[in-house]
């Protein structure tokens, strides 16, 4: 029996072990338990769905990255309106998502200010996420260049919340001298715009149409982030979307550090059923497919022909060529301690088939090279197999997944509003201005839709 259970390690704390900063999984957790953050809710934060989406995204992703705790203070009186948390008071949501409501905050903590107002001058790191239409931004609280919401798009709120947590994480890790001192953002309407991402043209049209009839392949880290994004959108209460959820895995301890819709009570349950329970409770129509996706996949009449792909498996990606989906949007995330904040998104069909994007030889997995920390761990434990399995697991965190989901969902929704799509988009979350991609105009396929409220 392996001494090291690869499915129990916290997937973000693992980066300290991979980087050789610590020598044991326990020491990695001790290190990450020193990381704390504060979320202050200022005036007007709940006036828009984007503001509410920013709050719950920042809170849920931060509670899985800052293991020392997430303090929340400020205006906790509003009831939420985003579908996934509709009717719940903010204070109850804080508790449900792993935060702690405080009357007297710890002023020295790195702070995220959502809404209007200021923070104590003694706070050394204080940023404000803002949004307008399809644009999301973070900037120092004292900046005069915050976005003012003229149009309400919850995807921009999800994006801004994820950006803010990523910036705070860079600060506590000390991996960027600029963290907390810069203004960065992007347009989900035109994600390749760099210098002019905040122009009126890049803020996009009013959100009017929402996706319906989707097939989600994989409901782990990325798949649940896609669902999270869908759960923020302004679907009418009496008309929620139909989703097919496909996965075979069960919830493990490590999933608690990466997946936005599972908790400790869900351990050992099938991921499809946990997610379905959350969505059916708010009126989504759910169908389950609990078999592996592969070359045998064939759509039946009446099934969704548009897919969101969230499986981190090259062999499965190659099988997208034969799956007969009319449109697929997929994302792949970096997996190492250096690149876990990088992502690449593809839209299919494109100029190259999936079998060329992911050659067969790329699917072969080499033997993991163990750094000194893992070698010592294997020597001390006598469990080379268990240590090697642990070393091969990806470094992952849901603030990257939520950010990726905002891009993927925008890719799906943009054509519904007259915009284009992209063959690919490459983004480094910790270095946001360095974005690459290739647009396709006009899009060849649009998904079914529901008019927004």
CB–CB of 143/181 below 8 Å?
no
Residues forming beta bridges with residue 345, ordered by sequence position: 331, 425
First to last CA, the chain: 54
Q: Is 385 a catalytic residue?
A: yes
Peptide bond into 213 cis (omega under 30): no
Residue with tokens 């981190």: 312
Peptide bond into 349 cis (omega under 30): yes
- Which residue of the set 54, 159, 385, 447 is catalytic? 385
Strand 306-309 to strand 285-289: parallel, antiparallel, or no bridges (unpaired)?
unpaired
Q: Which of 197, 203, 200, 163 is nearest to 180 (CA)?
A: 163
CB–CB of 154/53 below 8 Å?
yes
Residues forming beta bridges with residue 245, ordered by sequence position: 216, 288
Using DSSP's 3-state secondary structure scheme, residue 140 falls into strand
Using DSSP's 3-state secondary structure scheme, residue 223 falls into helix
* Catalytic sites, residue numbers: 385
């Amino acid at each position: 029996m392996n001494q090291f259970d690869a499915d129990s390690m916290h997937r973000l704390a693992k980066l300290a072990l991979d980087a050789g900063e610590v020598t044991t999984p326990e020491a990695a957790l001790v290190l990450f338990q020193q990381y704390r953050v504060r979320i202050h809710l200022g005036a007007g934060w709940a006036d828009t769905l984007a503001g509410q989406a920013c709050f719950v995204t920042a809170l849920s992703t931060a509670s899985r990255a800052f293991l020392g705790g997430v303090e929340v203070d400020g205006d906790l009186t509003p009831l939420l309106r985003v579908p996934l948390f509709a009717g719940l008071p903010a204070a109850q949501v804080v508790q449900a998502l792993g935060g702690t409501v405080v009357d007297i905050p710890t002023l020295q903590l790195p702070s995220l200010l959502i809404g209007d107002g200021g923070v104590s001058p003694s706070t050394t790191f204080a940023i404000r996420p803002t949004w307008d239409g399809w644009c999301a931004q973070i900037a120092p609280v004292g900046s005069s260049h915050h976005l003012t919401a003229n149009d309400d798009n919850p995807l921009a709120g999800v994006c801004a919340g994820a950006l803010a947590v990523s910036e705070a994480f860079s600060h506590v890790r000390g991996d960027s001298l600029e963290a907390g001192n810069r203004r960065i953002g992007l347009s989900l309407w035109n994600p390749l715009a760099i210098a002019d991402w905040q122009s009126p043209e890049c803020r996009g049209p009013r959100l009017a149409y929402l996706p319906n009839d989707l097939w989600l392949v994989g409901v782990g880290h990325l798949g649940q982030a896609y669902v999270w994004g869908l759960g923020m959108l302004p679907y009418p209460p009496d008309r929620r979307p139909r989703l097919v959820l496909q996965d075979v895995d069960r919830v493990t301890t490590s999933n608690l550090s990466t997946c936005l819709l599972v908790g400790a009570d869900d351990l050992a349950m099938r991921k499809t059923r946990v997610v379905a329970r959350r969505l059916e409770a708010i009126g989504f129509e759910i169908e389950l497919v609990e078999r592996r996706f592969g070359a045998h996949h064939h759509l039946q009449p009446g099934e969704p022909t548009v897919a969101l792909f969230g499986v981190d498996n090259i062999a499965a990606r190659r099988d997208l060529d034969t799956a007969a989906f009319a449109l697929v949007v997929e994302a792949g995330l970096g997996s190492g301690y250096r690149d876990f904040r990088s992502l690449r998104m593809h839209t299919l069909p494109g100029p190259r088939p999936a079998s060329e994007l992911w050659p067969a030889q790329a699917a072969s997995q080499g033997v993991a090279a163990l750094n000194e920390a893992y070698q010592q761990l294997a020597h001390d434990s006598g469990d080379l197999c268990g240590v090697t399995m642990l070393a091969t697991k990806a470094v992952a965190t849901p603030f990257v997944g939520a950010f990726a989901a905002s891009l993927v969902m925008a890719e799906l929704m943009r054509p519904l509003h007259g915009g284009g799509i992209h063959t690919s988009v490459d983004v480094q979350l910790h270095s946001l201005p360095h974005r690459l991609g290739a647009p396709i105009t006009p899009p060849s396929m649009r998904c079914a839709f529901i008019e927004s409220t």
